[in-house]
Structure 1
Amino acid sequence: MARGEKVVRALYQQHGAALMAYANRLTGGRQAWADDVVTQTLVRAATATDLGKGMQTRLWLFRTVQDVVGEGTDTVVPVAQRRQLAVADALFALPPRHRDVLVAPGTTATTGAFAALHAFKAALAARGVTKSGLDDLLAERQQ
């Protein structure tokens, strides 16, 4: 068995389930696309020179999943849906306490909502969504 194959098998055994779950979430549940994303991620890992150097292996893998999905969005996901994908991913990345405040109807926890909106805005910015309409909403909340 070649070294690259050993690396891929070991990484898949250790991180495969988490990578598949993350890829599924980023691809909107498109299983075939998620499978391709994980495969491409592991292929890149087998030949990577920076894997595990200065960055945890799992973090490197998750970042690569994001990159592979982003590369595929130009041809697979229409432009209008890319922002929706980023918004959904940002929402799922929030801690449950923030996510619940944002999506639960009739929530009156103003302090929790304010903190949740700030966390959501940061998560969106990390995904390249800078004009989300949250700036105006946050400015209103602070007054």
Structure 2
Amino acid sequence: MERMYRQYAVPLLSFCLKHTGGDRQWAEDVVQETLLRAWRNTGLQDGEGKSLMPWLATVARRIVIDDRRARSARPQEVNPEPLEFVPADDQWEPLLRSMVVADALQSLSPAHREVLVETVLRDRSVNQAAEALGIPVGTVKSRVYYAVRALKIALEERGVER
């Protein structure tokens, strides 16, 4: 067995590296399994002028094929822990957020709510909102500032993060 290893291990490893796509660890495993099968096959002997390399190469090639089939037959194993934190496309999330925001808006004073409706929801400038509400521009600016702060607190109370 020692003589067989010295004579065939290096060329067999080279052969296996080509068949495993350069995966050295896999190739070494195939060489080991091939030589183990040769050792178990007691009738196998290196006769005069007769090389065992063709037999060893055939066995190694079949081991690689079997390994490939086994890998493709079962799914790759993964640790499920990271998958718990992968965001999924959730159709309900936007709806729930809008419901929470609507509820938080209802908790604001009417003056704060109407100024946010004009500036944020209707996408009006401060000047346009002041004109629509019939109040001074400075009052709109002040109300928007305090309304946004109050809305932020209301959303935090409802568990909504930024």
TM range (shorter): 0.3 to 0.5
Bigger fraction of residues in helix: 1
Structure possessing the higher radius of gyration over alpha carbons: 2
Instruction: Give the TM-score normalised by the residue count of structure 1.
Output: 0.44
Q: RCO higher in 1 or 2 (8 Å CA, sep ≥ 6)?
A: 1
